[in-house]
Amino acid sequence: MDKDLAYVLVGEEQIYQRVEELGKLITRDYEGKEPLFVGILKGSFIFMADLVRAIELHSQMDFMAVSSYGNKSVTTGAVKIQKDLSEDIEGQDVIIVEDILDSGVTLSYLTKYLCNRNPASIRIVTLLDKPSRRIADVTADYVGFEVPDAFVVGYGLDYAQKYRSLPYIGVLKPEIYTD
């Protein structure tokens, strides 16, 4: 897999330290509350597992599968909910856990979709933020790392279901994802 990468953008130790910092921030901000973490599958599962272990609060977890990419390297613009929440979120403090905030199309749609279920609050935590690609008006409340406009994989992020298991974030060589 490493031969498909141009370079490592965020190392394993950097990720570990930043996830710990995010855990402390969320613990502080939600003191006395029991937030519901909503992981967006499949990309967020590794980040979410490490994040909730870094948070010193009772919490709940649920997952959604939402996509606007399919196996493409750019968004199609059409958001598809493949798996909805299992639990009612009315009155809950919801924290959406995402691997990367890129165009913002998916998170913008998802935030509006979940607001219709009357949660007490909705906030977003993302491992990576790529503001140069934003086309929808959405920002994360907690950000691990801001990244440049490059195709990134690893630590849960994929290209065509590959590279998720890398313990760091790498930049994929363009010849891997272009025809």
Q: Which residues are known catalytic residues?
A: 102
CA angle 37, 80, 124 (to 5 degrees): 30
Rounded (10°) angle between helices 45-53 and 12-29: 60
Neighbours of 174 (CB within 10 A): 11
Specify whether the CB–CB gap between 149 and 134 falls below 8 A.
no
Contacts of 59 (CB under 8 A, 6+ apart): 34, 35, 36, 37, 52
Structure-token pair, residue 81: 């909910």
CA angle 147, 148, 154 (to 5 degrees): 55
Neighbours of 43 (CB within 10 A): 23
